[in-house]
Structure 1
Amino acid sequence: MTPVEVIRGDGPIVLGLPHTGTWLPDGVRDRLNTRGLGLADTDWHVERLYHGLLQGATMVRATFHRYVIDANRDPAGQSLYPGLNTTGLVPLTDFDGEDIWNAPPTEAEIGARVETYHAAYHAALQAELERVRALHGVAILYDCHSIRSRIPFLFDGALPDLNIGTNHGVTCHRAIETAVYGLCLADDRYSTVLNGRFKGGWTTRHYGRPNENIHAIQMELAQSTYLAAEAPPWDYDSTAADSLRPLLARMLGRLAHLALNGDLT
């Protein structure tokens, strides 16, 4: 299996999906313990949730699981949230702080995974952002994520339904942040927060360079908004998802409008 799938569009929006993959290459699966093999920290069905929401959108998707290597972490291993519980470049625990390996990878093996998987995903993402910027003069990376709404190891209480991350406005033009946050606030079915527990991962922070006409914003969805239950077998709830998808489509459509009408340059 190739480490990255790309669906190329001709519009200004690039969807990044670093955590939907479930592929475990040879030599990884047999070293995970039973808990690790459950792949609980997957962004379940996010590719299905976003499919077809915006005509012309490009999608870049990692096919490998985040336990192989996390494509949304700094390849140098620096923490995104110093002082807070989180998982690393190659997670040693799951989001509940429980061990996932019978035999954790060595530093040499982690380095090899950076080259084989992490670098491949980001080479594809970089290429698509540059291609889109060449077409339109601007590109917007919308980084797609989801997570269980209650994970005491990572945060207190229940996570809001819609978690927007722009690293406090650094990674995108203010109009992008305002548009997405405003649309979320206008839909009173869902709770929302801007730059709360999740302020944008390494991908958002790395690519978000408004002065170079590449903007980035992260959307972390609580999985309760579109899954039947936040537990195995992680079934997609079509009724809940079909209620959420129009809001996501409005966000993407608004961002495309901003880009195509010169509001970001």
Structure 2
Amino acid sequence: METFRFQPGETPILLSIPHVGTAIPPDAAAGMTEAALATPDTDWHLDRLYHFAPALGIGFLKATCSRYVIDLNRDPAGAALYAGADNTELCPLTTFDRKPLYRPGHEPDAAEVQRRIDTYWRPYHETLQRELQALRDRFGVAVLFDAHSIRSEVPRFFQGRLTDFNLGTADGATAAPKLVGRLMNVLAATGTYSSVLNGRFKGGYITRAYGKPEDGIHAVQLELGQRTYMEEAPPFRYRDELAGDVRPLLERLLGVIAEWTREQARAARVAV
């Protein structure tokens, strides 16, 4: 089965959407609970929300399989994403609400986890790494925009209601400060949505693994509160009127990245 979709672009920007998939292969589904098969923790509709990106020349890579099969934003070695916090696994065992994903005795063992790494995780990351290198080689700079969303209230991970826009750069390690500053200025100027830099969500494995500013590859993660564009309860309906309000801000963020990359390319040509 198709595990991801990739469309190259004509700019130095790559949009990654690793948690939008809902497909669960029959072999995995056979041992799963009804709670798992409903895939409630999906980053719902993000491909629809960002549908403008290809028209701007931005390439995209999106998963088709559910994060319950394997989490593409986790370390394949199983290292915790946030030390000391409640973390979901590479092959998750529970939903965000701590409901079991597998019927007793059907949890994936070490061999099954490795099979899923080889079948689902590795191809996505090989494509991600190859495309970022190609963009950097072609333009002299590349920017990865890792798009995520989450329910605004998930007591397992944070108290109270989540900020609308949560930008993460691993505390400044994965992207140039000037680029990040411009993005935060755009968010601060909205007057409509709340925003924070490196708050509860500092960027997952993808952002941390591929953001190498010293090598010309920058990465930022945006964790978007789902209340900004959809209904957060089943059936998780997309809200056109909400999405219509938030989409111009997303377009502006990606536009700022495009402007910054053009500046970097010009500066590189002048230096030569």
Unaligned runs of at least 5 residues, structure 1: none
Aligned to 1:89: 90
State the secondary structure of the residue aligned to 2:56.
coil
The answer to whether the 8 Å contact 1:17/1:47 transfers is: yes
| Structure 1 range deviating more: 111-120 or 46-55 | 46-55
Partner of 2:118: 115
What letter corresponds to residue 14 of structure 1 in structure 2? L
Provide the C-alpha distance between the structure 2 equivalents of 1:13 and 1:231, rounded to a whole number of angstroms: 32
The one-letter code sitting in structure 1 at the alignment partner of 2:20 is T
**Counterpart residue number, 2:40:** 40
Deviation at 1:81, TM superposition (A): 0.5
Partner of 1:68: 69
Q: Does the CA contact (< 8 Å) of 1:92 and 1:100 recur in 2?
A: yes
Distance in 1 of aligned mates of 2:153 and 2:201: 14
Aligned equivalent of 1:208: 211
The letter of the residue matching 2:26 is D
Out of 235, 238, 250, the residue aligned to residue 237 of structure 2 is 235
- Give, in angstroms, the shift of residue 32 of structure 1: 1.0
| Conservation of the 8 A alpha-carbon contact between 1:12 and 1:139 | yes
Shift of 1:46: 0.3
The answer to whether the 8 Å contact 1:23/1:64 transfers is yes
Q: Secondary structure at the match of 2:27?
A: coil
- Give how far 1:91 is off: 0.6
The 2-side partners of 1:194 and 1:69 are apart by 27
Tell whether the 8 Å contact from 1:4 to 1:124 is kept in structure 2 after alignment. no
- Picking from 189, 196, 213, the partner of 2:192 is 189
Question: Is 2:222 aligned against 1:219?
Answer: yes
Aligned residue type for 2:15? L
State the one-letter code of the partner of 1:243. D
Aligned to 1:7: 7
The TM-score, its normalising length taken from structure 2, stands at 0.95
Partner amino acid for 1:165?
G
Instruction: Give the drift of 1:188.
Output: 1.1
> Which string of whole-angstrom CA distances, capped at 9 and with x for unpartnered residues, describes residues 49-87 of structure 1?
011146110001111110100000000000011111121
Deviation at 1:26, TM superposition (A): 2.2
Distance, in Å, in 2 between the alignment partners of 1:171 and 1:37 is 35
Pair 1:146-2:149 in alignment:
yes
Per-residue CA shift, 1:99-134, capped at 9, x if unaligned?
Answer: 111121111100110011000100111111112112
Q: Which residue identity does 1:100 align to in structure 2?
A: L
| Aligned position for 1:49 | 49
Deviations 1:7-55 (A, max 9, x none): 1111011001100011111211121101111101100000110111461
Indicate conservation of the 8 Å contact 1:18/1:71, yes or no: yes
What residue number does 1:249 align with?
Answer: 251
CA RMSD of superposed structures (Å):
1.2
- State the TM-score, normalized to the length of structure 1: 0.97
Following TM superposition, where does structure 1 have runs of at least 4 consecutive aligned residues deviating by more than 2 angstroms?
A: none
Greater displacement, 42-51 / 54-63: 54-63
- Aligned AA for 1:84? A
User: Could you tell me whether the CA contact under 8 Å between 1:167 and 1:199 is conserved in 2?
Assistant: yes
| Structure 1 residue 94 displacement after superposition | 0.8
